[in-house]
């Protein structure tokens, strides 16, 4: 008899790896609690029409990837109900919000969840058929302020804090606005028009989407279609003044709290419910499946599934991918490269150097602290073995607040103001500083 194995695309999580999963989940619970989120647990399966109406019939998720079955009818007179293992949790949360009248008090609901989701995708590294998401949703009636761009910025800032607190390094936040319900028809019309000419040269899926849901053409991953997609109109050109002002407000609030991001006018995301802000956090360690977090605003979702107006914004972190990133980083750490080696110049500087190291570590950087008893040459030798950069910290530096930083790889030596130090140390090589608070 052949031995039975876990189904393709599913996995057993075993100790000691499960310790890491618990650490991630504990960190999420701790960070989200500071922002006053409460936990929601919705069923793992729902009525199929929830996803068809919420996520969208023409999305890859609904059209190709759902695990759906007809439930046995309870009585002859009843029709069998079509049920689906949840491919994502936002639709379920909004359904629960409507069902339990959570908006009735006029307050914002801030809900987080941790749990498995199911999509019949082709399994590969970082892509599974049962995978875990850690997600959060902020939703409420318009009177609760749920439509404010401040909510978008707060959610993004929370994600940045979470990733930093967990020690994820070098993440990248990509941001876009896909416009409001009134911007969208004008854009879709323009896309449809442009696709009349271009679609025949594209893949069969795109040819169909050009007719049924042109926006989804932009999700196409077929390499040969990419040059054509590049020439299509961009959503940014179709935003009205209100949408533009809201997007600018999100960006300004992120700038104010020093969360780095990049705007990508092509980021539309593969779910139909998105309006206005959409975003992804990606990570270089992940290879092809590099999206670590996906999210955005869904101001019309509640109405699409039968509720009253309840704008919302949220995200889901791919927990499997988060763990892969942490594991890859742990290997990198084992190879030994701290962000900086802080070298006190003279023993009298030791206490102040410890304070400087503490400040940098609290900002999420990996810091090695030298010793003022070492001669300068020894500090350089030690620093070179342990870190990418060395920060020289003597009395002059303490007084002036200007520090000398040398990059071991390039040999470049620069003066950096203390307030700029975190920013400077996060930057890798010549790349602009990205993705760290
Ligand atoms: P999503 O982009 O479909 O968004 O998924 C979010 C994250 O889940 C992805 O960035 C990825 O890390 C992870 N993920 C997705 N599919 C797989 C898979 N097959 N294997 C492993 N990880 C995967 C949503 O699900 C939205 N509900 C997010 C959201 C919440 N938007 C607003 N609120």
pLDDT at residue 300, as a whole number: 96
pLDDT at residue 185, as a whole number: 87
Q: What share of the chain is helix, strand, coil (3-state, %, to 5)?
A: 45, 20, 35
Identify the residue whose C-alpha is closest to ligand 1 atom 10. Answer: 293
Residue spans of the domains in the chain: they are 17-182+240-328, 338-426
Closest ligand 1 atom, CA of 119? 19
> Residue 222 to residues 229, 255, 264: CA-CA distances in angstroms?
10, 35, 19
Sheet hosting strand 389-393, strand order edge to edge: 367-369, 340-344, 389-393, 402-407, 413-417
Query: Over 80: is that where the pLDDT of 110 sits?
Result: yes
Quickly count: other Cβ atoms within 10 Å of residue 296's Cβ. Answer: 27
Phi, psi of 64 (to 5 degrees): -125, -25
Identify the residue whose C-alpha is closest to ligand 1 atom 7. Answer: 318
* 292 in contact with ligand 1, CB cutoff 6 A: yes
Identify the residue whose C-alpha is closest to ligand 1 atom 12. Answer: 318
Distance 420 CA to ligand 1 centre (A): 34
Query: Over 90: is that where the pLDDT of 288 sits?
Result: no
Query: Over 90: is that where the pLDDT of 409 sits?
Result: no
* 320 in contact with ligand 1, CB cutoff 6 A: yes
Q: What residues form DSSP beta bridges with 156?
A: none
Query: Over 50: is that where the pLDDT of 378 sits?
Result: yes
Phi, psi of 428 (to 5 degrees): -105, 120
Confidence category of residue 190, pLDDT binned at 50, 70, 90: very high
* Superfamily of domain covering 17-182+240-328: Bira Bifunctional Protein; Domain 2 (3.30.930.10)
Query: Over 80: is that where the pLDDT of 73 sits?
Result: no
Q: What is the mean pLDDT of residues 186-198?
A: 91
How far apart, in whole angstroms, are the C-alpha atoms of residue 215 and residue 421? 43
Q: What is the chain's mean pLDDT, rounded?
A: 92
Distance 144 CA to ligand 1 centre (A): 27
Q: In CATH, what number does 338-426 get? A: 3.40.50.800
Confidence category of residue 158, pLDDT binned at 50, 70, 90: very high
pLDDT at residue 429, as a whole number: 41
Place of tokens 């439509």: 147
Sheet hosting strand 45-47, strand order edge to edge: 45-47, 82-85, 68-70
Identify the residue whose C-alpha is closest to ligand 1 atom 4. Answer: 294
Q: What is the mean pLDDT of residues 273-293?
A: 92
Tell whether pTM > 0.75. Answer: yes
Query: Over 70: is that where the pLDDT of 428 sits?
Result: no
Query: Over 50: is that where the pLDDT of 436 sits?
Result: no
How far apart, in whole angstroms, are the C-alpha atoms of residue 328 and residue 159? 20
The pair of three-digit structure tokens given for residue 69, joined into one six-digit string: 């079955």
Q: What is the mean pLDDT of residues 313-337?
A: 85
* 149 in contact with ligand 1, CB cutoff 6 A: no
Query: Over 70: is that where the pLDDT of 335 sits?
Result: no
For the chain, the residue count is 437
Task: For 313-323, write each residue's pLDDT tens digit.
Answer: 999 999 999 99
Site to probe by mutation for ligand 1, drawn from 294, 295, 300 as the one with most ligand atoms within 8 Å of Cβ, is 294
Identify the residue whose C-alpha is closest to ligand 1 atom 30. Answer: 315
């Amino acid at each position: 008899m052949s031995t039975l194995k876990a189904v393709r695309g599913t996995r057993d999580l075993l100790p000691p790896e499960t310790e890491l999963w618990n650490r991630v989940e504990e960190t999420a619970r701790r960070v989200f609690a500071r922002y006053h989120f409460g936990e929601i647990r919705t069923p793992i399966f729902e009525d199929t029409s929830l996803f068809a109406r919420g996520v969208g019939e023409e999305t890859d998720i609904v059209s190709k990837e759902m695990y759906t079955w007809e439930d046995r009818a309870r009585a002859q007179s009843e029709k069998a109900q079509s049920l689906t293992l949840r491919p994502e949790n936002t639709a379920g949360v909004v359904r629960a919000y409507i069902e339990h009248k959570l908006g009735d008090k006029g307050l914002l609901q801030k809900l987080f969840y941790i749990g498995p989701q199911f999509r019949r995708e082709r399994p590969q590294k970082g892509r599974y058929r049962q995978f875990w998401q850690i997600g959060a949703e902020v939703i409420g009636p318009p009177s609760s302020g749920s439509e404010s761009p401040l909510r978008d910025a707060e959610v993004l800032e929370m994600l940045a804090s979470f990733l930093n607190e967990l020690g994820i390094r070098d993440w990248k936040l990509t941001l876009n606005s896909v416009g409001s319900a009134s911007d969208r028809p004008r854009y879709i019309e323009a896309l449809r028009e442009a696709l009349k000419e271009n679609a025949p040269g594209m893949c069969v899926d795109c040819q169909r989407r050009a007719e049924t849901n042109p926006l989804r053409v932009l999700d196409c991953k077929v390499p040969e279609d990419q040059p054509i997609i590049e020439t299509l109109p961009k959503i940014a050109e179709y935003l009205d003044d209100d949408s533009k002002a809201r997007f600018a407000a999100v960006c300004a609030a992120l700038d104010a709290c020093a969360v780095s991001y990049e705007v990508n006018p092509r980021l539309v995301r593969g779910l139909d419910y998105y309006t206005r802000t959409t975003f992804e956090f990606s990570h270089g360690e992940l290879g092809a499946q590099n999206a670590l977090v996906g999210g955005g605003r869904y101001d019309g979702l509640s109405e699409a599934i039968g509720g009253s107006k309840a704008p919302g914004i949220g995200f889901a972190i791919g927990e499997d991918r988060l763990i892969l990133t942490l594991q890859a980083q742990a290997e990198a750490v084992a190879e030994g490269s701290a962000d900086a080696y802080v070298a006190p110049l003279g023993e009298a500087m030791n206490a102040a150097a410890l304070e400087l190291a503490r400040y940098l570590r609290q900002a999420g950087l990996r810091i090695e602290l030298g010793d003022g008893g070492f001669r300068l040459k020894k500090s350089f030798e030690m620093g070179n073995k342990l870190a990418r950069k060395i920060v020289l910290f003597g009395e002059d530096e303490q007084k002036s607040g200007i520090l000398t930083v040398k990059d071991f790889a390039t040999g470049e030596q620069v003066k950096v103001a203390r307030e700029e130090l975190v920013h400077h140390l996060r930057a890798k090589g010549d790349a602009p500083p990205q993705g760290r608070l």
